[in-house]
Amino acid sequence: MSVLVILATGAEEMETVIPTDVMRRAQLNVTVAGLSGADPVVCSRNVKLVPDKSLDDAVKEGPYDAVVLPGGGDGAKNLAASEKVKKILQEQEAGGRIIAAICAGPTALLSHGIAKGKKVTSHPGVKDKMEGSGQYTYSEDRVVRDGQLITSRGPGTAFEFALALVEALKGKETVDKIVPPMLVKL
């Protein structure tokens, strides 16, 4: 199974790396794709992450079983402003495949008209924007799954978010196998 993680300048580091790492531990084929190319990306806390490839190259290998949007205020703004991301999300939704977003990442769903009518969560800092749009049913749960949509709240929920993705793609048995060696307390 394949997963596309879209990495934009200003992305939140933990919300990018933790899901990527956890999904790779679950033997998922994860591609971290740079929105602006394959060069290192400066994230929200000035950590530089190197994508596996550019988004342009990654989309040639799609469709993916899941598309993941990390948060980070500026990262989410860059995802929300991208026509490439819009097209990927529209195709993902039309194909009935998983879309996942964490922290401010769900604002990109809003900007691109994705998952209207679904139950979502987000970082408290963008709650009013998500709730006020009238497009979603808002929840303050740490992770929310509504059909093929998975959303979560922020850096502190990144493991739970990642494990929800693993469960959706590979089942609870895989989650039960990878949690103990990571010493994750759920």
Nearest to 51 by CA among 69, 33, 72, 30: 33
Nearest to 63 by CA among 33, 27, 88, 34: 88
- Per residue in 62-75, pLDDT (tens digit) is 999 999 999 999 99
- In the residue annotation, 43 being an active-site residue is answered as no
Catalytic residue among 18, 89, 101, 103: 103
- Please name every residue paired with 140 in a beta bridge, in sequence order, or none if there are none: none
Q: For residue 115, what pLDDT band results from cuts at 50, 70 and 90?
A: very high
Contacts of 176 (CB under 8 A, 6+ apart): none
- Per residue in 157-179, pLDDT (tens digit) is 999 999 999 999 999 999 999 99
Catalytic residue among 4, 76, 100, 123: 123
Whether the model pTM is above 0.85: yes
The residue to which tokens 């990927």 are assigned: 88
- In the residue annotation, 103 being an active-site residue is answered as yes
Assess whether pLDDT exceeds 90 at residue 10: yes
- What type of residue is 97? R
